[in-house]
Structure 1
Amino acid sequence: MRKPCCEKQDTNKGAWSKQEDQKLIDYIRAHGEGCWRSLPQAAGLLRCGKSCRLRWINYLRPDLKRGNFAEDEEDLIIKLHALLGNRWSLIAGRLPGRTDNEVKNYWNSHLRRKLMSMGIDPKNHRLSQKLPSCRSKSQANEHFQKVKSNGENDQVSDAASCVDDISPLPDLNLDLTITPSCFTTEREKQQQQKSNVLRGIESTSALTPTLPLFR
């Protein structure tokens, strides 16, 4: 059984105060991160080592990137998610200044819905059979008008959101196809050699004159 990082009864819980944040910042600036298990006591904090680590990584690091995600960051998250799935720490490692928790929350709250509104399944990044494939503004408008004319009120809001949320996201074509091998198998080679031998026998017999039979 893994030993807990600290004694729970002697630690503060809940929101961090500005004084606690400043103590953590000052200590790491002077001594570095070091061992998170012993850091709270050395920094004069009544906090768990795990709490200090998460507070520093997700909120206090000087290289953290604040604000909304840029379009190129969204494109990169989508492409990496298609390759790596929900491995958020690996994805965040390719986005300087972003944390894994931040990337995960942005995917679930924004990008996942955006792909669904475009008719793309966010699990496998392929076109969904249930949702409209709104890959362009014109296609989205055409779908919206069709749904509206048919009186399908329960789908009008979904179609309208598809029109509003269309943006130039990358056209992800991740379907892998297997092309025929350029190498012949051993069986095919044997059949080809056999057919060549038969052709040789036929051509030889055709060129050899027939001799009359003498009794």
Structure 2
Amino acid sequence: MVRTPSCDKSGLRKGTWTPEEDRKLIAYVTRYGSWNWRQLPKFAGLARCGKSCRLRWMNYLRPNLKRGNFTQEEEACIIKLHSKLGNRWSAIAAELPGRTDNEIKNHWHTTLKKRFQTNEEESETATKSKPKETTQISAESNTTTTSPLSPLSSSSEFSSITSWDQSHNNNNKNNMVLEDDDFAFLDGSFWTEPYLAEILYE
């Protein structure tokens, strides 16, 4: 059941458009164009506001209006334009001939918004997992050992270590000069006494 149009305080009609009103609007716009939506209802003989006439023409009556489901190309274009322009539906509709801004807005909020959010969440989880791996690798690669033989140690440390090794080797060489008296304890009794002790105590 169609609701009968009502009138506001200024005498303008509200509610559902009648076929007679549609014919008047179509006839005027096709002949004179939409030069001024505020002044158009008065010259077209319509008791409507300019906004109501504009929405009726743009969303229902214009001849190049496209109806039906959105194609995949149109949906991809809407997603791309929305990421660039945001909620500027009239600017997005200008790039899609035959589609209205209201229709694009409704399709975005009912269908495309959920798909876009899931794609964003998947991309965020993928980007979050990758930097963790790279930071671990970089942290492992940045760890350096503090051993004195490490190639990353400073030249002063290395020179001090080498000088200490040289002096220690020289001291050892000086201490290793032995005389014949040092081996005096290695006489015959040295080799025989332990063996005799083992025999006696068996």
TM-score interval for Structure 1 and Structure 2 normalised by the shorter chain: 0.5 to 0.7
State whether structure 2 residue 60 is matched by structure 1 residue 64: no
Instruction: Compute the displacement of 1:115 (Å).
Output: 2.8
Residue 114 of structure 1: CA displacement? 2.2
Tell me the residue number matched to 1:105.
Answer: 106
**Greater RCO (Cα-Cα under 8 Å, separation 6 or more):** 1
Identity of aligned residues (%): 55
Residue 79 of structure 2 contacts residue 116 of structure 2 at CA under 8 Å; is this kept in 1? no
Q: How does 1:1-215 map to 2 (within 5 A)?
A: 8-116=9-117, 118-121=118-121, 127-129=123-125
Matched letter for residue 100 of structure 2: T
Name the one with the larger helix percent: 2
For residues 19 and 85 of structure 1, what CA distance do their matches in structure 2 show? 38
TM-fit CA distance, 1:23? 0.8
Following superposition, the deviation at residue 119 of structure 1 comes to: 4.3
Where structure 2 has 5 or more consecutive residues not aligned to the other structure, the ranges are 1-7, 127-202
* Pairwise CA distance, 1:54: 1.2
TM-score (norm 1): 0.51
Q: Give the TM-score taking structure 2 as reference length.
A: 0.54
Structure 1 CA distance for aligned equivalents of residues 76 and 13 of structure 2: 40
- CA-CA distance at 1:12 after TM superposition: 0.4
What amino acid sits opposite 1:47 in the alignment? Answer: R
> Aligned-residue CA RMSD in angstroms?
2.0
Task: Give the number of the structure whose alpha-carbon radius of gyration is greater.
Answer: 2
Does the 8 A contact of 2:65 with 2:98 survive in 1?
yes
Is the contact made by 2:90 and 2:101 (CA closer than 8 Å) also made in structure 1? yes
Structure 1 residues without counterparts, runs of 5 or longer: 1-6, 134-215
Give the SS at the match of 2:81.
helix
After TM superposition, the runs of 4+ consecutive aligned structure 1 residues lying more than 6 A away are none
Structure 1 pair 8–31 and aligned structure 2 pair: CA distance change class (3 A) = farther
